[in-house]
A and B are shown apart, each in its own frame.
Chain A
Amino acid sequence: MAEHLLALRAAVMRRERVSHSTLHFFAYAFIALCLVFAAIAMATGDVFFFRLATEALIFGGLALAVDILLGYTGLLSLGQALFFGYGAYVSGLVLKEIEPSFWTAMGIVLVTATAFGAIAGIIAIRARGVYFALITFGLAQVVSKIVFNTRELGASDGIIGIPVIKTDFLLFQVDTGHAPSFFLLVLSIIVGLYFLVAYVMGTPFGRTLVAIRANESRVPFLGFHPWRYKLAAFILAANVAALSGALYPMLRGFVSPELMFFQVSGNAVIMVIIGGVGTLIGPLYGAAILTGLKSVIGTFTEHHLIVIGMLFVLSVIFFPKGLVGHARPRIERILAARGRES
């Protein structure tokens, strides 16, 4: 083979390795930060911050789902909390009424969220751009109002009294009532979802989603049916949101219709933008930042939303690519330089 082609192949592989390891660098750093936090919180015997950090991770899963649609497929979902709340309700009902089992709850959520995501997706992906955003917003509003008014689902109170569960994993047991171990369980699940989604985005399927975001009109002329890919992305995002939501009642012991409200969907979009659109790991950072800020600022003033709103505006102006998007080229340069040395 010609020398310049070998050089090209090597250059392509080097670039892909660097961009791959850069994103995973942020993932490992995130895990490390979580573990450091866990060690400190455990040493001080804290429960409140453990619960708060667990909640941040759970909402990070929702933000990850938003990024699949926004960052890769180019679809802005303003109603992703619909699936998050759906997962939370199904999980809560299963734990309370059917069987207090982690695996049963997650399994039922996975299967039914796929069906629910497919139905909602067929409705939503008919539209593009702002119309897609409005349809997802509308679907979430309709369903949340129905839940809010359904007495069998606890109406405005939601479902309370969801039992603490104990789950056996091969070597150890996790008790959802034990803050540190449940935190570590949620961390493994959310990070596991991240790695799964990151893998999928590196496959021809994921690249086709990127092509749809970049220029949907050309995609059919490359042999791919955009509708199928968008629907599959929608179902994937519904599942990621629902599985994250399914962890919520295990943490808090209740679910409420507010979980499906626009506030939750909107926060998820903010988390994605703060952390970095199209980075997948950025949304987890964004969730940690937003949840942390809300809690910290909330202790000083009840008008914390004003402060957060202003911080959001400033971060969009000065860091339009978000935290990870902003730091990525710097880390990439470091990793590329190190790759050349070795």
Chain B
Amino acid sequence: MDLALILSAMGCWLAASVLALTRLPGGRLYIGLGLLGAGLALGGATHTLIHGQVSQMQFQFWGAAVCLELDALSAAFILPLQVVVGLGCVYASTYWPASTPRTGTFVRFFYALLATALTAVFICRQGMIFLVAWELMAISAFFLVGTEHERPEVRRSSWIYLVSTHTGTLCLIALVVLLFRHTGSLLWSGMPTPGTHANAGEIVILLVAILGFTFKAGAFPLHFWLPGAHAGAPSHISAVLSAVMLKSGVYGILRISSLLPPVPHLGGILMILGGITALYGVACALAQRDYKRLLAYSSVENIGIIFMGIGLGWTGRALGNPWLAALGFGGAILHVWNHAFFKSLLFFGAGSVLHATGTRELHALGGLGKRMPITTLAILPGVMAVSALPPFNGFVSEWFLYRGFFASLLHDSPWWAVLAIFALALTGGLAGVAFAKFFGFLFLGEPHSAAAEHAHDPGPSMWVPMAILGAICLFMSLGSPLLLPLLDRVVSVLAPGSPELLAAGLGRDLSFLSGMSILLIAMGAGAFLWLRRSHSVPERPGTWDCGYAAPTARMQYTADSFSDGWSALFPMVKTRVRRIRAIFPGRTTFHTGFQDAVGDAWLAPRIDRLATRLLRFRRLQRGYLSIYILYILIALVAVFLWMLVRRRLLG
């Protein structure tokens, strides 16, 4: 029943994509189909999460058994997916309308296709079909990333994305084959027998899965494709890619690990990987001057936090400690939700700013708070949530993870729990710096350039989705005790045999926490009213600024100076200053730039060198059809010979 809802939702999205392709003027119909699909899928996913029933469908397709299944884990990923693609569809109607020259229909077609493929990824339980859905997702994302392909940097980042995602797919093909050899079936079903630990073959399967899915999730050091791709795409696409598509990697890791017995120590390793990813991502976010790249790097950070949660869950599973497993997996899933909502909000906000000003440079903006008051108000919950500040939802999931780390500390005090607490605390602090920079230099102060002078708020079809997401960010925190039963359902898929631990163990504490958040908001509102009641001096002078009488907008602090205190610690920031000599120095220059430690600094020169070496193989490509037919013939003969020799050699 729930699965039927999801399937009909996919049908809606598919119909929407076909509609976009026909170039009929059905703008409203497209949005209607999208919203209908999102609504149907949300209904199905929510129902599954509340009741925890698994709905399944098996049929034969080309002689192979195919299985589609909707359980709590799938539903937990479909839920944020459909909220974001549904709202993104509305947002795009103004942001990237069908009438956009050349790319209007193109974007709408692939957007709806991406929504279909992503939904399919979450319900396919058979290796081959999963790979087909996965590829459909990757390819539609590739075309969306390359929307503005006339700009060279977009072209470059979309190619890097394509190569990375296919390298990941290569690992996934290996994974499907290995799983097939392990279980004797392409179907992904069944639970590991409780109490066992993984053997060598199963560990290899899990490692291949982690490698393949990490390419998609964008954890360090396989994140290098992410910032360019996510920053270069149109903003509503960036929202879907960052908020939801990265999570398909997380989903894959969780799904495969739920099929296999627990592996000891792997949880600790994943936690360290997550901690490094989180710190690296937030440090890079801090150094960005392109506000969309800043958001993209912050996604790397959040994937790190999710990985830390999964690592904790795996540790709990391996130790046979269901409470740790529940806290880890529950925190990870909650952060998947929270990140989906606040990150899509932030990308929608960034899109509004880009729409209004046409620049992605933090340097050129500022003072938008007066010119775009609705956007400013709507984006503030997202900014505070991503900095993990109460009373918004980002804090709640980090609180879950802290609870888990402290619980393991009190239980058997492993060294990694202390490291994880350290990493999470530092990440939180740095995220605060990065997003104070993001919000402060976009919306506050005076405009740094003419681009920001004449900005204005977008229409309701753009700000209403943002307002909805902002409200979700607030209510997921205030109503967090209500989410515990849903999280319990998901945890019971990932760590069987631990029913209802979260609702029983965290319910009281979380109610107190949300009560305190409500108190915080109420007292803040009271103080605001008290301040508004007082009289202020009617004339409004300029900022005092130590009495300087003629300040200009260019004298304000810049975004670069704001994060400069950290640049000494980060090898990614390269600064070139020409020394000032002599008493009357001439002109001097200052240049500072950012290089990703993995993508730009390490990988790019090596790839370039490899490409030069491989040039000598170019002579094989003559461009004559007859030569290619010859190649095929040679290959066939070689295979034929190998068959003969193999008979002889192996008996």
Does A pair with B? Answer: no
